[in-house]
Amino acid sequence: MKTDTAATTAPTIRLQDYTPPAWWIDTVNLDIVIADTGTTVTARLALRRNADQPRQPLVLDGAELDTLSVTVDGQPTPFLATPDTLTVEQLPDTCTLTTVVRIQPDQNTCLSGLYRSKDGYFTQCEAQGFRRITWFLDRPDVMSVYTVTLHADKARFPVLLANGNPVAAGEHTDGTHWATWQDPFKKPCYLFAVVAGKLDVLKDTFRTASGREVQLAIYVEPGKLDQCPHAMAALKKSMQWDEERFGLECDLDHYMIVAVGDFNMGAMENKGLNIFNTKYVLARPDVATDVDFENIDRVVAHEYFHNWTGNRVTCREWFQLSLKEGLTVFRDQEFGADLHNRQTARIREVRTLRAAQFPEDAGPMAHPIRPESYIEINNFYTATVYEKGAEVIRMIQTLIGRDAFRAGMDEYFRRHDGQAVTCEDFVAAMAAASGFDFSQFMRWYKQPGTPRVTVDGHFDAESRSYTLTCTQTNPKASDAANNPAPYLIPLRVALFSEAGTLLPGSERTLHLSAHSQSFVFDHIDAEPIPSLLRDFSAPVYLDFDYTPDQLTLLLAHESDPFNAWDAGQRLATRLILDAAEAIAAGRAPHWPEAFVAACRRLLQTQAERGSAFVAEALTLPGEGTLAELMPVVDPDALHAARNALRRHLAEQLEGEFAGLYAALTVAEPYAPSAEQAGRRALRNVCLAYLLETDADAYRQLAATQFRTADNMTDQFAALAALANVTTDPCPQREQALADFYTRWQHEALVVDKWLQVQSTSRRADTLSTVRALTAHPAFDAGNPNKIYALIRAFGANLVRFHAADGSGYAFMAERVLDLQDKNPQVASRLARSFDRWKQFDTGRQAHARAALERICNHPGLARDVLEVVSRALG
Ligand code: B3K
Ligand code: ZN
């Protein structure tokens, strides 16, 4: 496949250059004929000059289109076509432009536009895939009403779908058939979708609060219908939840989800015709884990919620991406918390944020949640735009309260339904509904970087007062030196007594708005222990000089589960970082008894605190998150330190782990409920700790669990524990890996798990295993899920990817170069593995630089990858 090369077509696009379109396209009529020789697309566009803009020729976007004809109101017209533009100079103010193009979806390996996957044709148009289907104004502020007719061979492609409602269908005499769909809603072209294939369907209906009946359908490859009911239930629950929480009803007659195995990301919210990665649709207890079930709930909800936040109200241009993504992630997080377990949902959100977004915000790809420039927009579907974007929305709700937030949402739809708008428009609706002044808050949209809040506590016995002095710094603020730019940071706090009781009246949300600010608590009789940033009320690093005893007390007594968990993480972080330093200096690490005792108490209080919480609390911070806290990362010492602490806990608490492992058996039939999932999670945490003792008996226990488990959660947890065994030989490990593949080789998503469990292994031979797996029949170098499972997951394996000899870097460079012209989006995601290379020692840096330069110097490098590697090198 040919892609745009960086040198010729990689301009920087800037928010400040936005101008409204010179033309509107009111209606679009598409006729798409799918044939073996290629697909022919006839587009009839009803054009109308935008009278508010200076007169300009029509310049349409396109990519890899073979133009067969261009006519205006039925007459051939002069036009100028370049590879990516079609210009028509002389046009009446309203007219119909008809183009006929030929495209080659069978050769489309980048999975953007119309492409073939196995036995069907699918589309992905966000952000700029529609231009790969036909000439168009490919920008979200041009909204049109679509009528689409699809033609394809009837026997091979019996299902023909497009957005909206089916209005007519028929057969031709040559064995092909056709179907016409009409979407009554105006939409930007990124929400366009068609599907042609041989698919099974699960149907259902949903009656909305106002009594409309919506036809629901989930389409999957033949033979997978028994893996659809969970996604269908998730869809119905999402529809109901959005009515209850936000008063938002489904506006469609037909809501379809189509699952496809080759898909660059998770799913896509095309109007009425969502297209999903199979990973977020297919589930059955024996092939999907509890986490998979929960992710399906969240992703199905996310795409459904986009129907309002994204589709009814869309983005003016792509810089506003967080307008729909941050808000929709916040909505799916809230849905997930209501449906599953609010405590652990929040903990996991923050774990993800710290593991993915904080490093991004500290690295070469750092950008505000609303970026101000890009070379390739697909590079900005990031943890920052999505996850930090959701935190920003959550802060708005924290600042004005839940009721005002709901009123703000109502106001947003009242003002902007049917429009393409900006983040300012959203915040203005929130301001109007609440009376809150968001002018300083807007900095969260404009500045990159994770702010650091340092807090000091001072108790004054005489005045019986306690003062918290909070100081904020923003390491990435571009104007930090001369024009300090503090954020408005909502800081939820509470004070605790030495006995662990919450001081009445001490729960407050502080509004930190200056660089340094003091907050006084009165009627305090003794030095309290502050619990800061409860429920993670802002996406910041928070420093307070806690003693280990204070953290232990918060872990045991803080009623805010997030902060209880975070106290434990702080304790563990300090121990691991100190141990890494010791190990690097050739000293033995020191593990205080108090930490072991705190973990023992967690295990003993499992019944009261909940298994899910205890499982999270006993999971040490990840290596990537810890690495962010080291001035120069020593991945070997860090890895050794973290594992040594795990082993120490396993040895000290062996009896408790073994006891709980036995006690937590789930006797009832499998259900992906929060309660059962919590028990399984903790039981599997216990199992993984037991294997740290290196006793063969526990490897045997894992092997038995692997063999006898009736669900994928337990089977996979046993496999993962065994895959990490570094003692050789380990027959249980070999056996489990072999059996797992033999049993599941025909379930693509389970094969992904098998690949990933090997690429994320701590074993020293992981890179050679990964290399060997790239030639295994289980791997498919054209399938994004396989690439993510094997290659990208390896890039996140801190100790193995960052091997001192540079072998991990060289391997990744090879894979990026191998993929970059076939699928630049996925290649670019792989290239992000290098983001934090400057955090490492000079030896590793030299290897990383060589790998990056090798990528960067590749002739004709895709601009997606070029943007990432040149920022990394820059
Ligand atoms: N909006 C899509 C993402 C499209 C990514 C394009 N590179 C999925 C989502 O966020 O719901
Ligand atoms: Zn989204």
Query: Which residue type occupies 730?
Result: C
pLDDT at 114: 99
Angle CA(659)–CA(661)–CA(664) in degrees, nearest 5?
105
**139 and 247 assigned to the same domain:** yes
9 has a pLDDT exceeding 60:
no
pLDDT at 7 over 50: no
Q: Per residue in 94-143, pLDDT tens?
A: 999 999 999 999 999 999 999 999 989 999 999 999 999 999 999 999 99
User: Measuring CA to CA, which residue among 241, 395, 255, 268 is closest to residue 331?
Assistant: 241
Residue nearest to atom 7 of ligand 1 (CA): 378
Ligand 1 nearest-atom number relative to CA 303: 11
Q: For the chain, count helices (H), then strands (E).
A: 32, 31
> How far apart, in Å, are the Cα atoms of 100 and each of 29, 41, 110, 703?
12, 6, 23, 60
* Whether residue 340 is found in the same domain as residue 465: no
Mean pLDDT for the stretch of residues 257-286: 98
Handedness of CA 708, 713, 716, 718 (dihedral sign): negative
Q: Is 251 in the pocket of ligand 1 (CB under 6 A)?
A: no
- CATH number at 336 reads 1.10.390.10
CA of 310 from ligand 2 middle (Å) equals 8
> What is the tens place of the pLDDT at every residue in 651-692?
999 999 999 999 999 999 999 999 999 999 999 999 999 999
* Ligand 1 contact via 302 beta carbon (within 6 Å): yes
Please give the average per-residue pLDDT across 701-724, as a whole number.
98
Q: Is 292 in the pocket of ligand 1 (CB under 6 A)?
A: no
CATH number of the domain to which 157 belongs = 2.60.40.1730
Mean pLDDT of 541-561: 98
Q: Tell me, yes or no, whether 55 and 190 share the same domain.
A: yes
Report the residue among 381, 384, 387, 823 best suited for mutation to probe ligand 1: largest number of ligand atoms under 8 A from its CB: 381
Dihedral-angle region of residue 539 (phi above 0 means left; psi in -120 to 50 means alpha; beta otherwise): beta
Q: Which residues of 278-314 are buried (b: 16+ CB within 10 A; e: fewer)?
A: bbbbbbbbebbbbebbbbbbbbbbbbbbbbbbbbbbb
The one-letter amino acid at 487: Y
pLDDT digits (tens, 9 = 90+) for 341-361: 999 999 999 999 999 999 999
Q: Are residues 279 and 229 in the same domain?
A: yes
* 660-671 per-residue burial string, b: 16 or more CB within 10 A, e: under 16: bbeebebeeebe
> For residue 8, what pLDDT band results from cuts at 50, 70 and 90?
very low
* Per-residue pLDDT tens digits for 55-88: 999 999 999 999 999 999 999 999 999 999 999 9
Look at residues 422, 446, 470 and tell me which one is the last residue of a structural domain. Answer: 446
Region 147-151: what's the mean pLDDT? 99
Please compute the mean of the pLDDT values over residues 253-278 and round it to a whole number. Answer: 98
Same domain, 485 and 389: no
CA gap 511, 395 in Å, rounded? 11
Q: Which residues contact 663 (CB under 8 A, 6 or more apart)?
A: none
Instruction: Give the position, in ligand 1's atom list, of the atom nearest the Cα of 299.
Output: 11
Select from 538, 572, 587 the last residue of a domain: 538
Q: How many structural domains is the chain composed of? A: 3
On whether both 295 and 335 belong to a single domain, the answer is no
Q: For residue 774, is it within any domain?
A: no
Q: Does residue 612 or residue 478 have the better pLDDT?
A: 612
- Looking at the structure, tell me whether residues 352 and 231 fall in a common domain: no
Q: Which atom of ligand 1 is nearest to the CA of 267?
A: 8
Please give the pLDDT value at position 479. 52
Interstrand relation of 176-188 and 165-171 (parallel, antiparallel or unpaired):
antiparallel
The CA-based dihedral angle spanning residues 785, 788, 791, 792, taken in that order and rounded to the nearest 10 degrees: 180
126 C-alpha vs ligand 1 centroid, how far in Å? 6
Q: Evaluate if residue 485 carries a pLDDT over 90.
A: no
pLDDT, tens digit, for every residue of 737-795?
999 999 999 999 999 999 999 999 999 999 999 999 999 999 999 999 999 999 999 99
| CA-proximal residue: ligand 1, atom 4 (nearest) | 126
Which pLDDT does position 119 carry in this prediction? 86
239/288 same-domain check? yes
Structural domain includes residue 874: no
SS3 758: helix
Residues 219 and 158 occupy one common structural domain: yes
| CA 324 to ligand 2 center in whole angstroms | 7
CATH code of the domain containing 499:
2.60.40.1840
Radius of gyration of the chain (CA): 28
Among 115, 122, 126, the mutation site with the greatest number of ligand 1 atoms within 8 A of its Cβ is 126
Give the pLDDT of residue 752: 99
Instruction: Report the chain's mean pLDDT, rounded to a whole number.
Output: 97
**pLDDT confidence of residue 484:** 60
Q: How far apart are CA 276 and CA 264, in angstroms?
A: 10
Q: Among 111, 112, 265, which residue has the most ligand 1 atoms within 8 Å of its CB, making it the best to mutate? A: 265
Q: Which run of H or of E encompasses 30?
A: strand 23-35
Does residue 381 line the site of ligand 1, with CB under 6 A? Answer: yes
**pLDDT band (50, 70, 90) for residue 814:** very high
Q: Tell me if 861 is assigned to some domain.
A: no
Known active-site residue 623: no
Instruction: Report the nearest-CA residue for atom 9 of ligand 1.
Output: 268
Instruction: Specify the ligand 1 atom closest to the Cα of 126.
Output: 6
Q: Report pLDDT for 509.
A: 98
Cα of 806 vs centre of ligand 1, distance in Å, is: 33
The Å distance, Cα 188 to ligand 1 centre, comes to 14
Percent of the chain residues topping a pLDDT of 90:
97
Q: Is 758 inside any structural domain?
A: no
Q: What is the mean pLDDT of residues 148-171?
A: 98
Domain that holds residue 235: 23-305
Model confidence at 6: pLDDT above 60: no
pLDDT at position 476, please?
73
**Given a cut of 60, is residue 399 above it in pLDDT?**
yes
What does the alpha-carbon distance between residue 405 and residue 246 come to, in Å, rounded to a whole number?
10
Asked if residue 759 is part of any domain, the answer here is no
Q: For residue 242, is it within any domain?
A: yes
Q: Is the CB of 126 under 6 A from ligand 1?
A: yes
What pLDDT score does 436 carry?
A: 98
Cβ–ligand 1 distance for 630 under 6 Å, the answer no
User: Does residue 163 sit in the same domain as residue 228?
Assistant: yes
pLDDT band at 474 (very low <50, low <70, confident <90, very high): confident
Answer yes or no: do 506 and 439 share one domain: no
For ligand 1, atom 3: residue with the closest CA: 268
* Site of tokens 């025909």: 746
pLDDT band at 475 (very low <50, low <70, confident <90, very high): confident
Residue that is last in its domain, among 521, 538, 555: 538
Nearest bound ligand to the CA of residue 280: 1
Quick one: 37 and 150 in the same domain?
yes
Q: Whose CA is nearest to atom 5 of ligand 1?
A: 126
466 is a domain residue = yes
Q: Which of 303, 349, 376, 616 is catalytic?
A: 303
Is position 491 within any domain?
yes
Distance CA 647, CA 655 (A): 14
Distance from Cα 135 to the centre of ligand 2, integer Å: 25
**Ligand 2: distance of its center to the CA of 711 in Å?**
30
